Amino acid sequence: MDTTLSDPLVGQVLDGRYRVDARIAAGGMATVYRALDTRLDRVLALKVMHPALAADATFVERFIREAKSVARLAHPNVVQVFDQGADGRYVYLAMEYIAGCTLRDVLRERGALQPRAALDILEPVLAALGSAHRAGFVHRDMKPENVLIGDDGRVKVADFGLVRSVDTVTSTTGEVLGTVSYLAPEQIEQGTADPRVDVYACGVVLYEMLTGGKPHDGDSPAAVLYKHLHEDVPAPSTLVPGLPYALDGLVAAATARAPEARPHDAVALLALAREARAGLSEEQLDAVPPQALAADHDNADDRTSVIPRALTVPRPLPVNEDDEGDAAALNRTSRLQTPPPAPPRPGPSRSRRRLITLIAAVLLVFGVGAGVWYINSGQFTKVPPLLAQSEAQAKQRLERAGLEAGKVTYAYSDTVARGKVISTDPDPGARIRDHDAVKLTVSKGPETVKVPDLQGYKLDKARSVLRDSGLEPGMINREFSDEVTRGSVIGTDPEAGTERHAGSAVALTVSKGSAVDIPDVTGSDLADARSELEDAGLKVKVAPERVNSELDAGQVAAQSPDSGGQAAEGDTVTLTLSKGPQMIEVPDVVGDSVDDAKQALKDAGFQVKEDRGLLGLFGDTVKKQSVKGGQKAPQGSTITITIR
């Protein structure tokens, strides 16, 4: 059933800009849609908070915090946030759209993954989290659903909706936020979250990739939480015999129940993951899990890879030739590779060769040319997997495969580390003749762009300059400024001169002009009010409808914005004029007791004054009223009652 058919947002345009095309997914806090940015003509993901939660300031604050936090993480493995705003009851984030699937989809379809595939997914996830940790943020809800795998092979971490600064408590209400299967013991017991809770969750995710199942299960969430507190995560090799012990050690380090026993952040865990990978042979990396062998029993050609696509994962080059430390582990790129070709099968036996020769001779008589086919079939080979290899490694692999390295060209890449192979011609796996040449395209690293100095530019011009520079306009913030004219750019985040990857978003701070104190003009005549506001640098608008008030007709009964605040020079103040007090009928209270008369007049909207004189000092009956009953008087005016 297509759930988008009944979704009221599908087909609408939010904020006059984002056309909602289809619903992608729904969660506890928000629904994600595929949308089109009609201004930039690009497809993006729109995350819209459920309207019922939009009225809750705490949820809105958390939602907006996600936008601000992720916008500060300029990393190729983090889903980028472009914009945040509200349209009526809809609060939304505009984010990068990733066409592909989640790691949960892969695990659901394939079960356990080969060690190479598991590490190729884990490493970019750790690179993304490492960038967040070094910026002072914790994700707190790492799980396979939040790992996106694009159709182009990129791995990205999504949903920083539970992100918080390091060392803050889990939530203001003390509730545990996150998914029970991936919660660290200290999250459960103390509600605190530092980078090591993400390390723990990544250890659980790695266990799940290696075994196809979660380490702790139970009949209820409480049972799972109890196991996190009191039971160690088992070694993956207990479920997958033959799995290298280095991977057992990696899972054990990440999921230690005592936080001080774990790597201190994702960068440290990434270094351990790379160390574990380096100690594994090609055969160990490409070992097919037992259930994958069973699944592929009828189709042996599918055994070369558990995941049916190349997964590009960013890694950084070292800062210099001598720097191979933790910081260098943030942005390198690797790719899930097809295992190397199987060794050539032994040649046919002597009797078999005789049989083939006889068959070939017979077929030649009939003009089939089987002999030519048999001879030529041995003169071809396949291009080996070279992607993400260094130029030297690629040339060595080509030589071992009996091929030549052809022309080498160099190109910028945001996802493939400097010095690594981006692509080959022909592609890996292509069938070519022995000793033919394979052209290589090698990465020059990410193309970086300096943020231009946009101070003083009008907003539209600033956006145009950013795009011409290879960057994207990001969130717009507005501030008062005495130096920068209204509508012009005060500054950018990051600052001018900062280097960023091409395509990164830059936030703009735009001037609201000089701040003006809003004077109080209520009770003034319209002419006087207009003059005072215009002298302050403000514009005046008169509301078409007048209201009844105790003020005389034509005087200012209300103003918006109210006095006491600040507005930008040139802003408009709307004035609502009085049409005088409302005339209402006076009740007849002659003959009533004083208390009853006063109550009746007050209920009708009048003030009451008593006139007792000497004769009415001890009286309790109304003998006369200043406005006779049945006549009309201004609402709020005073009615005098005479008592005898």
Q: Give residue 84's pLDDT.
A: 87
Based on the fold, state whether residues 71 and 219 are members of the same structural domain: no
Q: Tokens standing for 135?
A: 């910026």
* CA proximity to 208, closest of 232, 184, 165, 240: 240
Q: Give residue 435's pLDDT.
A: 86
Q: What is residue 420's three-state secondary structure?
A: strand
CA dihedral 275, 276, 280, 282 (to 10 degrees): -80
Based on the fold, state whether residues 107 and 87 are members of the same structural domain: no
Based on the fold, state whether residues 274 and 331 are members of the same structural domain: yes
Q: Tokens standing for 71?
A: 């916008």
For 93, the enclosing helix (H) or strand (E) is strand 90-96
CATH number, residue 69: 3.30.200.20
Q: Give residue 620's pLDDT.
A: 87
CATH number, residue 618: 3.30.10.20
Based on the fold, state whether residues 529 and 484 are members of the same structural domain: no
Q: Give residue 447's pLDDT.
A: 79
DSSP character for 154?
B
The pTM of the whole model exceeds 0.85: no
Out of 80, 96, 112, a domain closes at 96
Segment 399-431, tens digit of pLDDT: 988 899 999 999 887 777 888 998 999 988 888
452: in domain: no
Asked if 77 and 254 touch (Cβ cutoff 8 Å), the reply is: no
Neighbours of 262 (CB within 10 A): 22
- Whole-angstrom CA distances from 414 to 75, 331, 424 are 10, 10, 18
Domain count across the chain: 6
Based on the fold, state whether residues 504 and 587 are members of the same structural domain: no
Using the Cα atoms of residue 592, residue 596, residue 601 and residue 603 in order, give the sign of their dihedral: negative
Report d(CA 320, CA 37) in Å as an integer: 41
292: in domain: yes
Q: Give residue 18's pLDDT.
A: 95
Crossing angle of helices 350-365 and 370-377, rounded to 10°: 140
196: in domain: yes
Q: List 634's β-bridge partners, or say none.
A: 583
Report d(CA 197, CA 77) in Å as an integer: 19
- Whole-angstrom CA distances from 193 to 66, 166, 177, 251 are 16, 7, 10, 20
360: in domain: yes
For 164, the enclosing helix (H) or strand (E) is strand 164-165
* CA proximity to 25, closest of 8, 41, 46: 46
User: Please, is 373 exposed, middle or buried when counting C-beta atoms within 10 Å of its C-beta (0-12, 13-18, 19+)?
Assistant: exposed
Based on the fold, state whether residues 461 and 548 are members of the same structural domain: no
Give strand ranges (E) for 4-77.
13-14, 18-26, 30-37, 42-49
342: in domain: no
Query: Residues of the chain whose pLDDT is less than 50?
Result: 1-4, 162-177, 292-378
Report d(CA 336, CA 120) in Å as an integer: 6
The catalytic residues are 141
Based on the fold, state whether residues 488 and 551 are members of the same structural domain: no
Tell the residue number behind the tokens 């520079």, with chain if given.
Answer: 469
Q: Give residue 511's pLDDT.
A: 93
Neighbours of 54 (CB within 10 A): 19
Q: Give residue 413's pLDDT.
A: 79
Amino acid at 240: V
Out of 562, 577, 592, a domain closes at 577
* CA proximity to 382, closest of 422, 344, 420, 419: 344
Q: What is residue 89's three-state secondary structure?
A: coil
483: in domain: yes
499: in domain: yes
15: in domain: yes
Based on the fold, state whether residues 383 and 396 are members of the same structural domain: yes
Based on the fold, state whether residues 301 and 371 are members of the same structural domain: no
> Domain range for residue 395?
354-443
Q: Give residue 329's pLDDT.
A: 36
Based on the fold, state whether residues 409 and 383 are members of the same structural domain: yes
Q: Tokens standing for 275?
A: 């160390």
Report d(CA 11, CA 36) in Å as an integer: 11
Out of 394, 418, 443, a domain closes at 443
Amino acid at 107: L
Based on the fold, state whether residues 533 and 498 are members of the same structural domain: no
Q: Give residue 231's pLDDT.
A: 92
CATH number, residue 207: 1.10.510.10
Amino acid at 415: T
* CA proximity to 489, closest of 472, 473, 470, 501: 473
Based on the fold, state whether residues 238 and 132 are members of the same structural domain: yes
